[in-house]
Amino acid sequence: MYTVDLIIANDWGTGFTANLVITNLSNDPLEWSQLEFDAPFTITNLWNGEILSSEGDRYVVTNADWNGTIAAGTSISLGFNGRKTSGAPVEVTNLNLVGLGAPTGSVPPTSEPEPEFPKITIADISLMEGDSATSADFQVRLSASSDDAVTVRYRTEDGSAIAGEDYTATSGTVTFAPGETEKTISVPVIGDSQVEADETFKIRLSNPSNGDLEVSTATATLENDDVAPPPSSNPPPATSPASDSAGAISFEVTDDWGSGFTANVTIRNTGNEPIDSWTLGFDAPFTIQQIWNASFTQSTNGAVDVAPVDWNQTIPPGATVTFGLVGAKAPNVDPTPINYELNGAVIGDPTPAPTPLPTLTISNATATEGADDAAEFRVTLSEASDEAVTVNYTTENGSAIAGEDYTATSGTVTFAPGETEKTIQIAIADDTQAEASETFTVELTNPVGATLEDAQGTGTILDNDSDSPDPGPNPNPDPNPNPDPGDGSPSTGEFNYAEALQKSFLFYEAQRSGPLPDDNRIEWRGDSALNDGADVGQDLTGGYYDAGDHVKFGLPMAYSMTMLSWGVDEYRDAYSQIGQLDEALDAIRWGTDYLLQAHVTDANGTREFWGQVGDGNLDHSYWGAPEDMTMARPAFKIDRQNPGSDLAAEAAAALAAASIIFRPTDAVYADTLLTNARQLYEFADTYRGKYSDAIPNAQSFYNSWSGYNDELAWGAAWLYEATGERAYLQQAESIYQNQIGSLNQGWTLNWDDKSYGVAVLLAQQTGDQRYQQDVEGWLDAWVEGRNGVQITDGGLRWISQWGSSRYAANTAFVAGVYADTVRDPGGDYSALAETTVDYLLGDNPRNASYVVGFGDNYPLQPHHRGAHGGTSSTLNSPAPNDNILFGALVGGPSEPNDFAYEDERNNYITNEVALDYNAGFTGVLARMVDAFGGTALSPAELDALPGITVPDAF
């Protein structure tokens, strides 16, 4: 007995997305191979199965290799996109599983249920600022009472009022008990006696449960009530660091899972003198479980005292110090602390900056020939103005030509006082020619009463004459036929970036585990860890050692393969130009082959994934070469009972991204990668949980602080990039918008947090201004050095002491990609990428490279057991390592000071190396080759390097 249900997920008139859900009602497994049905529509693409035949309205579809058996009482889903006549119903009839007969009962098409939820609104308010602490009380209302509890998240956002200076940043959850219709959100306002203009900030609602957002933002206007004092002949007293105006505090929650959260606390010195040996006190409605970049004590009543660590005791005027923490709290409690005291004094307000003009942006627009009369562009003012705002606009040709494809248009948009949105409509012409989609632009110029933030919108005209739907991103780009590999061309930049890129692959070869190939180029490396997986009856040899140790941690390894593939996908020509494409593909394949080995399936898809080999504690107690280690190396896994959505989704992202770059040269391998990626992603999405809960041994080394939503969105975005299937794009957007929400501007892409990469991919894939605003707000903080990002005198962006160069390199790579593919306002993002690379290669106050074996002054003692060539008895020897770990990027400065670096083997803060340190760095080096050129070392030159052997070099 079985049923088949048609579930319509989305219907936009001429097309739709739906799922056929087959449910096994019996007590035994159901084996199936073909499903037949009649459909009065055209299926344009199908996933989780394959179309065997389509004759007239009759379809025959078959299972994928992993869902041909449906366990008793469970279901599988076949998803598809369809094309139909506008207004026509979506239904399937005459269903039949071949060999099993018709399903039980009738099969009426059903849409996803859409319960009638009450509407949630929030109202603007105005209040007098006052001279001391007051409160801005926002009223949140339901349109009607509910029988169920209704919740909605909220957070504050700066306007001309600044968190920590004018009000206290606040976030949390509003809960309406059954029957309640009104709640209050109170935001502490920091009063002062400063004469100033009225200021505003916003509160934004998000992630409603059992309710629909009707009004999601409200503005609080803080009205100035201070008057200027009479003139005095006496000069004002000098301000000291301990005075009321010495500092400002911001408290930003970066993740909240109900019973706990992570947050960043930033102290800004707003005085004129350095603050030395600072202490920060506050009352906390939570218990601190972990803190970094500081130390703390906490009393039973919640009072907290925080003190600096060695490297951040002094805060210069205008500078900041940021520390992070993990806190435990009761669900639905706002964790924002109160009663801040810095060095025993209440914190006052710095003089606020003048209120900036509102900014103007224009959206992209899409229209279909014939179906749409016009392309509609939204012009948005960032906030309402008291004066009229105007801006001129004009159309510009792209591949679409004015007079043939659209009507040339120009004019002026006028915002009356209080208005924030206008539209520009551009008439679209129709024709009968089957052609590719075409584009034109609308340019904004000459604003009055505002400034331009985004002055160009792109209009895309979709063809309506082709028999085939627009396939979206091309999952199979045409390779450059028979590229001629070469050594490159002389660099026009500061360094030979081709050599640095080439040596990065030597580092990855030095990290290889298992039996090494005949063309191994690292003389001091041999076969190792040949029994990995034997304790669980699984071949888990191969893969990469994580860092200077010998554990194989699955999450950072998979992330590193994703990032390496992203770099090849964006800058493939650069790799080819310097003859390093084969080396890049080899490095990635060494990792993806291991991920395939670690992935175990059964008839229902992914059964388990082996996420770690080696006990981190046992491993780290051994200092020696991997070829000589004898300790036990246990294997750890995730499975359906002990899930790890973050690990599985990252592995899916790695395999999907790799499938893109292998497809031009090895389509069979690309298909294998993609099949496994689909299975791992479905497993990650179906069986939710953090991998570090399933593998507790990982918690002390690679704990999943960010949770798994970022990896679920990341994996879906890469699967969309690899397949062009919109269901994956919709999944990525939904998770980003509803679970991630925004980007913490003082952090960046790394092995744990993929939300930044997701935002960049979605900005590329959709052109949606929402993602562009999130990415650019984050990158602007890195460019300008704010919100927790500090800039050394030499120009390095610094956010954390452990592996600071890795964070800078990751941001440089993503900034470069965004600049090249989306937007580069004023050239700031490409400049960030380029200056960061030059700093790491030696253009810094130390005149030293942070890449081992590159330049004349590079690290001699990276924290790496194999490269050291000794044992624990010589760990503290001042002599250089026996072996040069060519290409490895070391950790870098341990504080925002160009000289806070120690080239010492036992300093894992400044001299650690790791797979993930080089992953983003390799990609941005390829970008530098693409922009400035460079010449790779010849085989003979490579062979001449100490410890390097190149087969057939001569």
Cβ pair 805, 899 in contact under 8 A: no
What is the arithmetic mean of pLDDT over 489-511? Answer: 96
Among residues 583, 863, 864, 895, the one annotated as catalytic is 863
Among residues 166, 199, 255, 549, the one annotated as catalytic is 549
Between the ranges 121-130, 161-170, 430-439, 681-690, where is the mean pLDDT highest? 681-690
Select from 411, 466, 477, 479 the least CA-distant residue to 438: 466
Per-residue pLDDT band for 207 (boundaries 50, 70, 90) equals low
What is the arithmetic mean of pLDDT over 74-81? Answer: 83
pLDDT for position 473: 32
**C-alpha distances in Å from residue 519, one per residue of 52, 530, 707, 942, 953:** 44, 18, 40, 14, 11
pLDDT over 80 at 112, yes or no: no
CA–CA gap between residue 902 and residue 895 (Å, rounded): 11
pLDDT over 60 at 351, yes or no: no
Per-residue pLDDT band for 80 (boundaries 50, 70, 90) equals confident
Please provide the CATH number assigned to the domain covering 359-462. 2.60.40.2030
Sequence ranges of the chain with CATH classification 2.60.40.290: 2-111
pLDDT, one tens digit per residue, over 827-840 is 999 999 999 999 99
pLDDT over 80 at 630, yes or no: yes
Q: What percent of the chain has pLDDT over 90?
A: 52
C-alpha gyration radius of the chain: 30
pLDDT, one tens digit per residue, over 441-487 is 889 888 888 888 888 888 878 766 543 333 333 323 333 333 333 46
Written out in words, the top-level CATH class of the domain with range 2-111 is mainly beta
Catalytic residue list contains 112: no
pLDDT for position 114: 43
Select from 723, 766, 758 the least CA-distant residue to 740: 758
pLDDT for position 482: 36
pLDDT, one tens digit per residue, over 759-815 is 999 999 999 999 999 999 999 999 999 988 999 999 999 999 899 999 999 999 999
Catalytic residue list contains 470: no
pLDDT for position 954: 66
pLDDT, one tens digit per residue, over 668-703 is 999 999 999 999 999 999 999 999 999 999 998 999
pLDDT over 90 at 733, yes or no: yes
Cβ pair 90, 38 in contact under 8 A: no
CA–CA gap between residue 222 and residue 136 (Å, rounded): 9
Among residues 650, 868, 895, 930, the one annotated as catalytic is 868
What is the arithmetic mean of pLDDT over 119-137? Answer: 81
Catalytic residue list contains 549: yes
Rounded to the nearest integer, the mean pLDDT of the chain is 86
pLDDT, one tens digit per residue, over 85-103 is 766 778 899 999 888 888 8
pLDDT over 60 at 512, yes or no: yes
Sequence ranges of the chain with CATH classification 2.60.40.2030: 359-462
pLDDT, one tens digit per residue, over 517-540 is 999 999 999 999 999 999 999 999
Q: What percent of the chain has pLDDT over 70?
A: 90
Helices (H), 71-152: none
Between the ranges 91-95, 741-745, 859-863, 875-879, where is the mean pLDDT highest? 859-863
Among residues 158, 334, 405, 912, the one annotated as catalytic is 912
Stated pTM of the model: 0.55
pLDDT over 90 at 551, yes or no: yes
Fold of 488-943: Glycosyltransferase (1.50.10)
Sequence ranges of the chain with CATH classification 1.50.10.10: 488-943
Among residues 31, 903, 904, 941, the one annotated as catalytic is 903
pLDDT for position 79: 82
Cβ pair 423, 376 in contact under 8 A: yes
Cβ pair 212, 120 in contact under 8 A: yes
Select from 252, 813, 292 the least CA-distant residue to 567: 813
pLDDT, one tens digit per residue, over 234-266 is 333 333 333 334 688 989 887 776 777 888 899
| Helix/strand/coil for 811 | helix
